[in-house]
A and B are shown apart, each in its own frame.
Chain A
Amino acid sequence: DVKVTQSSRYLVKRTGEKVFLECVQDMDHENMFWYRQDPGLGLRLIYFSYDVKMKEKGDIPEGYSVSREKKERFSLILESASTNQTSMYLCASSVPPPPDTQYFGPGTRLTVL
Chain B
Amino acid sequence: DAKTTQPNSMESNEEEPVHLPCNHSTISGTDYIHWYRQLPSQGPEYVIHGLTSNVNNRMASLAIAEDRKSSTLILHRATLRDAAVYYCILTSSGYALNFGKGTSLLVTP
Q: Which A positions have Cβ atoms within 8 angstroms of B?
A: 4, 31, 33, 35, 37, 42-43, 45, 48, 56, 58-59, 88, 90, 92, 98-107, 109
Q: Binding site of B, secondary structure by majority: helix, strand, loop or mixed?
A: loop
Which one of B30, B51, B92, B98 contacts A42 once the chains associate, using CB atoms below 8 Å? B98
Number of A-B contacts (CB under 8 A): 60
B1-48 residues at the A interface, CB under 8 angstroms: 30, 32, 34, 36, 41-46
Partner of B34, one of A43, A56, A99, A107: A99
With contacts A100-B32, A104-B36 known, what are 19 further pairs, Cβ within 8 A?
Answer: A4-B43, A31-B95, A33-B96, A42-B99, A43-B96, A48-B95, A58-B95, A88-B41, A90-B43, A92-B43, A98-B91, A99-B32, A100-B91, A101-B34, A101-B46, A103-B46, A104-B44, A106-B42, A106-B43
- Consensus secondary structure, chain A interface: strand
> Count of chain B residues with Cβ under 8 Å from any Cβ of A?
22
